[in-house]
Amino acid sequence: MADIIDGRAVARKLDAETKAQVDAMVAAGLPRPGLAVILVGNDPASEVYVGRKIKKCAEVGITSVEHRMPADSSQAELLALIATLNEDPAIHGILCQVPLPTHIDTGLVLRAIAPSKDVDGFHPVNVGRLSTGTGGIIPCTPLGVMKLLDTVYDDLTGLDVVVIGKSNIVGKPIAMLMLEREATVTVTHIETKDLPDICRKADVIIAAAGAPRLVKGYWVKPGAVIIDVGITRMKTEDGKTKLVGDVAFEEVQHARAVTPVPGGVGPMTISCLLANTVQAAREQLEGTSSDGFSIDWDELPDRSMFTGETSEASA
């Protein structure tokens, strides 16, 4: 039988660490970290997620400020709110819950959030810093995946990792994080040819394709570790609904360890959001945040490649 990686237990441990950091900041006379949560409209799933995030903020000592906007709010109104929050020193993290109403450009809205306050890690500045190994805020779900793997492995060096899914918010960031840890990474998706054969060679499979029960037992070699990021609500034969992942859980019990759905990656996402908020607060207070990331022009031998100017060396 495969060991079950208990995401709830790991999340509780991370929450305790986050609370300890908040308590230490307050004891040192620093401002309490503040998170602004924006909800546009009344999507039922979003209502649930936002409620959970606000509750968890209270548990770890983060101040949460909720901004609810009607579904017919204009894009300009939402951008104006974000601009105000960007300038608010009491707000260290901004979360705009998606999906947004169809008349609003989600990409534009996420880019409007200051990189230093982008606790989801979706801003191009944070994405770029992750891909180049220069810091920044890591997206919550990929960060949670890494913390779960750390409960199984002390070192990822040289492991053969297969990521199923190429999304900007899960698949690609996970691949970058794995490369930083010296793993050998293959990024695949549901259209990849010979996907079962590729997976059978993997020491670690991270399934994030959003395809229920995609990964079958024969795809997995004995002793592999499986992280199931997928979550889909499906109807059972008796008409009820249940949550299933991208992995046929009962078929992979010959693996070394596997995350369940629910109770695996899911609980880690909110806990990592809170940890990111504390990180953002500390970096803003220390002046080391993403917004302050800049090029030291004096250290460049030829700055024309960035500015278009002609340097003395290249003239």
The residues assigned a catalytic role are 53, 97, 120
Dihedral sign, Cα of residue 152, residue 158, residue 160, residue 163 = positive
| 3-state class (DSSP) for residue 85 | helix
**Distance (Å, rounded) from C-alpha 246 to C-alpha 227?**
9
Residues 80-85: contacts with CB under 8 Å, at least 24 apart:
81/38, 82/38, 82/109, 82/112, 82/113, 83/112, 85/36, 85/117
Q: Cis omega before residue 301 (within 30°)?
A: no
Could you tell me the two tokens for 173? 């960031």
Structure tokens at 34: 């503040």
Which distant-in-sequence residues (6+ apart) come within 8 Å of 193 by Cβ?
A: none
How many of the other CB atoms lie within 10 Å of CB of 201?
A: 11
